[in-house]
């Protein structure tokens, strides 16, 4: 059912712009000329001028970063990006827009007429390192209809770039009074409605949002992932997410386990682009580089994390997410307020009885082959210790109905044990992940 729905809705969104004007449908814009969308890409926010030497750019690439958001037209650093294979999402080319606290909701069209975007394009100097044009951050849903027009025009004006737009997380404020109220961030009465309005009005084949769990809560993170991932699956979009490598609290540094928890959980919901905030000064504290451009303890942590993501991303990207399950959450409060119930064990017809032998929580992404060869996969992460306070070793158990059952972690192939009765098992520590693949019989 999920697969059929995704195909059906995706077909609707591939109509031409001309036909869309006649029918009222919204066509997808799928134009990522310089960004290889067949692979999982890792980005970061903010590369300040004090961190733009060749050594800095080389270190950036060695850290596993594929692109940087928030760059300007600095030709020297763009040349270095080309040399080391880093992409840039540039700001300041066209008018920016930020939803802020909601005071300017619904005012984008009056402040940023299309002519300003055309003026920006007229003065634009292209560069092979420029992947994308930043068109705003966290807008109100009241501006989504106008964003649809902006995106269409920006895609015409910049033939080698795509438009970049990031959305609010679900802890942004919603309207509490009437539908006419505009002084709220989301511009809707619920987050689900906010995302639905984006999908209805904004013709891009991806949906990007930020969520910083260590300044929010785990259950809000899960519900945000659920809403966005289901919207992406249902409309054929790709999910992009912005996570945190820095911290709001000056006294707390994001740990390796916390980096893993964020990334692996996002991938269990089908994330195809992961962006880290922030590499240099942007907002908050304890960035990857300090104010002098020197590496902090976060550099090696992020470098290792990105290497793990890239290692498992190759087999992971052979599949696309269909659904996600919360397994073994009965004894936790982490699903409080989440619009999805947990299950004792996971079963998708190919893999059954999947659980941790000690009943600890797992987030399980159910995936199907992009090639259509009938192969299935599950992406599993051990979610018992999201704050990285008391990591433990767990044993994952499951049955598989198929052939060539394999498991891959970020560190390579995982040895599976199998009993005569057909139960597979392997080790899976807290905040670790693996991909289980099953070929059809």
Which helix (DSSP H) or strand (DSSP E) does residue 44 occupy? strand 41-45
User: What distance in Å separates the CA atoms of residue 290 and residue 280, rounded to the nearest whole number?
Assistant: 7
Burial class (CB in 10 A: 0-12, 13-18, 19+), 158: buried
Class of domain 31-316: alpha beta
For residue 336, the 8-state DSSP code is: T
pLDDT recorded at residue 93: 98
CB 60 within 8 A of CB 47: yes
Above 70 in pLDDT, residue 13?
no
List, for residues 217-240, the tens digit of each pLDDT value. Answer: 999 999 999 999 999 999 999 999
282-296 pLDDT, tens digit each: 999 999 999 999 999
For domain 319-439, which CATH number applies: 1.20.1070, 2.60.40, 2.60.220, 1.10.8?
A: 2.60.220
User: Which of 25-39, 155-169, 247-261, 263-277 has the lowest average pLDDT?
Assistant: 25-39
- Confidence (pLDDT) at 168: 97
Q: Do the beta carbons of residue 160 and residue 117 sit within 8 Å? A: no
Same fold, 31-316 and 319-439: no
Domain range summary for the chain, segments of one domain joined by +: 31-316, 319-439
Q: pTM value?
A: 0.93
Cβ atoms of 89 and 134 closer than 8 Å: yes
- Residue 29's pLDDT is 66
Q: According to the model, what pLDDT value does residue 440 have? A: 86
In the predicted structure, residue 8 carries a pLDDT above the cut 60: no
DSSP secondary structure string for all residues of 343-394: BSSB--SSEEEEEETT---EEEEEEEETT-SS-EEEEEEE-S-TT-SS----
Helices (H), 114-171: 114-122, 144-157
Among residues 221, 213, 321, 308, the alpha carbon closest in space to that of 260 is found at 308
pLDDT value of position 20: 37
pLDDT digits (tens, 9 = 90+) for 312-361: 999 999 999 999 999 999 999 999 999 999 999 999 999 999 999 999 99
The pLDDT tens digits of the residues spanning 378-404 come to: 999 999 999 999 999 999 999 999 789
In the numeric block, which tokens belong to residue 166?
A: 């990031």
Query: What share of the chain has pLDDT > 90, as a percent?
Result: 87
The per-residue pLDDT for 441 is 73
């Amino acid at each position: 059912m999920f697969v059929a729905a995704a195909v059906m809705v995706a077909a609707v969104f591939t109509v031409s712009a001309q036909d869309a004007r006649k029918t009222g449908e919204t066509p997808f814009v799928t134009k990522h000329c310089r960004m290889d969308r067949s692979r999982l890409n890792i980005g970061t926010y903010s590369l300040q001028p004090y961190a733009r030497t060749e050594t800095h750019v080389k270190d950036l690439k060695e850290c596993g970063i594929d692109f940087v958001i928030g760059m300007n037209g600095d030709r020297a650093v763009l040349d270095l990006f080309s040399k080391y294979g880093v992409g840039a999402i540039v700001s300041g080319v066209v008018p920016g827009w930020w939803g802020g606290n909601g005071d300017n909701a619904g005012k984008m069209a009056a402040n940023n007429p299309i002519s300003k975007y055309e003026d920006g394009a007229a003065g634009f100097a292209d560069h092979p390192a420029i992947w994308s044009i930043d068109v705003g951050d966290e807008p109100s849903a009241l501006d989504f209809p106008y964003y649809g027009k902006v995106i269409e025009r920006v895609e015409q004006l910049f033939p080698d770039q795509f438009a970049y737009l990031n959305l609010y997380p679900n802890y942004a404020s919603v309207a509490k009074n009437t539908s006419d109220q505009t002084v709220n961030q989301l511009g809707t009465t619920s987050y689900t409605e906010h995302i639905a309005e984006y999908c209805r009005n904004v013709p891009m084949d991806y949906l990007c949002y930020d969520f910083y769990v260590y300044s929010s809560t785990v259950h809000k993170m899960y519900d945000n992932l659920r809403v966005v991932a289901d919207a992406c699956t249902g409309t054929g979009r790709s999910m992009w997410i912005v996570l945190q490598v820095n911290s709001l609290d000056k006294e707390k540094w994001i740990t390796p386990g916390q980096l893993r928890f964020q990334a692996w959980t996002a991938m269990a919901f089908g994330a195809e682009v992961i962006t880290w905030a922030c590499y240099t000064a942007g907002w908050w504290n304890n960035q990857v580089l300090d104010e002098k451009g020197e590496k902090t303890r976060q550099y090696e942590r992020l470098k290792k994390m990105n290497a793990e993501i890239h290692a498992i991303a190759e087999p992971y990207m052979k599949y696309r997410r269909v659904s996600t399950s919360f397994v073994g959450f009965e004894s936790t409060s982490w699903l409080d307020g989440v619009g999805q119930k947990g299950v004792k064990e996971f079963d998708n017809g190919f893999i059954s009885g999947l659980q941790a032998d000690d009943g600890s929580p797992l987030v399980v992404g159910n995936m199907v082959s992009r090639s259509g060869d009938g192969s299935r996969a599950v992406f599993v992460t051990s979610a018992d210790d999201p704050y990285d306070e008391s990591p433990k070793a767990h044993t994952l158990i499951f049955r598989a109905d198929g052939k060539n059952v394999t498991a891959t972690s970020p560190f390579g192939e995982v040895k599976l044990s199998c009993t005569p009765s057909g139960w597979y098992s392997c080790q899976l520590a807290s905040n670790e992940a693996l991909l289980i693949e099953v070929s059809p019989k």
